[in-house]
Amino acid sequence: MRVNSRKFKLAIIMFSVFFVTISLQYMWDIRQDTRVLSPQGEGESLSQYQINMEFIEEDMSIKANQTTVYTNDTGKALENIYLHLYPNAFRSKEAVPFEKKEMERAYPNGFNPGYIEINSIKEGKKPIHHKIMGESNTILRVTPARPLQPGEKIQLAIDFKVTLPNTIGRMGYGENTVNITNWFPIVAVYDDGGWNLDPYYAIGDPFYSEVAQYKVTATIPTEYVMASTGDVIEVNEKNNKNIYKIEGNLVRNFVMILSKEFQVREAVLGDTKVISYAIGDIKGEKALQYGLDSLKIFNNLFGEYPYNQLSIVATDFFVGGMEYPNVVMISQDLYEMKEDFPLEYVIAHEVAHQWWYGIVGNNEVKEPWLDEALTEYSTLMYFEKKYGPHIKEQVFEKMIKAQYENYIDLEPDKGEGILRSLREFDSSWEYSSIVYSKGAMFIEKLREEMGDETFSKVIREYFETFKFKNATTEDFYKICEKNTEKDIRHLFNQWLNVEM
């Protein structure tokens, strides 16, 4: 996500004016590498989600039944299996995942609740013991009759209903779009520290998941156009409803954005179709071009995007942009600005997240810097490749460094390490100044220290090694260290405030 603080907005608009004057022509010609990689199942241990859902417009709800096959690949017997119930974070006004100062923008029509109701949970055909728990009831614990042994599978059938709130955050609806994200029960990640059961924090993108296989049947009134994760395999119309069969392979989540106003444009790059969903006809063509440019540049810099489609979706969303697998949500506000630069910046940023978050995952609660700093730096690299190093330098100095320096002027005691958990940030202004801006400054420093060629090798190796997996700061450090003779340990220790 690109935090939409007022100060960032001001910086981005001021920069836009400057940008137009110096970037009238672009000067790039990058050959598209031939595609060498296609998504293949990583074997038996991937979770499988089969979801039948229907969107009910009358009460803005979703009725669904889901079958999830989870394989215990933890190496330990599991007494319980945990899933996140993120929609419950929207139930009470006091606990919603927004900062206090954001409430008015998040709920233009006043607060109203969103939540998930679990009607039944079965293991195969038999009811299974379960409990809804955790902060705001955002965790579902299921307890099989006997512990799930290493290598064993469990099949959970969950029947549920989601009530969407009228909010223009990640999950909810506004005047033009219905944002169906973090909406179904998703298995929590079990890693070296055990189960990760964090609630839906207000700051950052508090998510952590494994890639999985999704087969979704979505029933949607025909007036709506749908953007989604995965590939639409088949559409059938029945009783004024479209029934979509969608498959998503090796993706970390599954989202849908619906609108009656979408104007759709498509273009193909290599084996990937880029689709722009614009509201009305405002800047749909430009958004498509920025999506194509981002895909082309990042394919060349990091390694090939392994999916068949990438959707750039205009949404009722007050926070700038948000990344999901194959789908980036881009605030309609950005399309309506006179300047193009903010739209281009946010699209490049969210598309870069397809590599850092989407394909290479990480714990975005514990180590949010790992995807966010790399993504912010990738956005700089987009401007470098497309418009030339002098433009990258300007964006770096006037936006990234300037934001960090402004923040530190006001909060001189808060400039310590970049590697902190979401819980350790008091505001999204602090979060974005440290994690995005100081984070990108750190990556710039690493690149300077290692040299361009080594840096490029490191990023490509990191991508190739952790594709479809979750990486940690230590994994990233090890790949840097292995590729350079330079002493980068002190840089990590100093900027991240850790002991490598």
Q: Under the rule (CB under 5 A), what is the footprint of Zn ion?
A: 1, 375
Q: Closest approach of Cβ 500 to Zn ion, in Å?
A: 24
Q: Which is nearer to Zn ion, 106 or 346 (CB)?
A: 346
Task: Order the strands of the 47-56 sheet from edge to edge.
Answer: 126-127, 115-123, 153-163, 61-71, 47-56, 212-221, 241-251, 231-238
* Nearest distance from C-beta of residue 413 to Zn ion, angstroms: 26
Q: Measured from the CB atom, is 375 or 428 closer to Zn ion? A: 375
Between 1 and 83, whose beta carbon lies closer to Zn ion? Answer: 1
> What is the closest distance, in whole angstroms, from the C-beta atom of residue 179 to Zn ion in the complex?
17
Contact 314, 264 (CB under 8 A): no
Rounding to the nearest 10 degrees, give the CA dihedral for residues 162, 168, 170, 173.
40
Could you tell me the smallest distance in angstroms from the CB atom of residue 383 to Zn ion? Answer: 16
- Please state the closest distance from residue 361 (CB atom) to Zn ion, in A: 14
Q: Nearest to residue 459, comparing CAs of 478, 429, 480, 433?
A: 480
Residue type, 153: K
Residue 211 CA neighbour count, 13 Å, CB half:
27
Q: In the complex, what is the shortest distance from the CB of residue 135 to Zn ion, in angstroms, rounded to a whole number?
A: 24
Q: How far is the CB of 405 from Zn ion (least distance, A)?
A: 21
CB 152 within 8 A of CB 56: no
CA angle 111, 166, 315 (to 5 degrees): 130
The distance of closest approach from Cβ of residue 372 to Zn ion in the complex, given in angstroms and rounded to an integer, is: 5
Tell the smallest beta-carbon distance from residue 336 to Zn ion (Å): 21
Strands 256-259 and 225-228, bridge-based pairing: antiparallel
Which CB sits closer to Zn ion, 309 or 375? 375
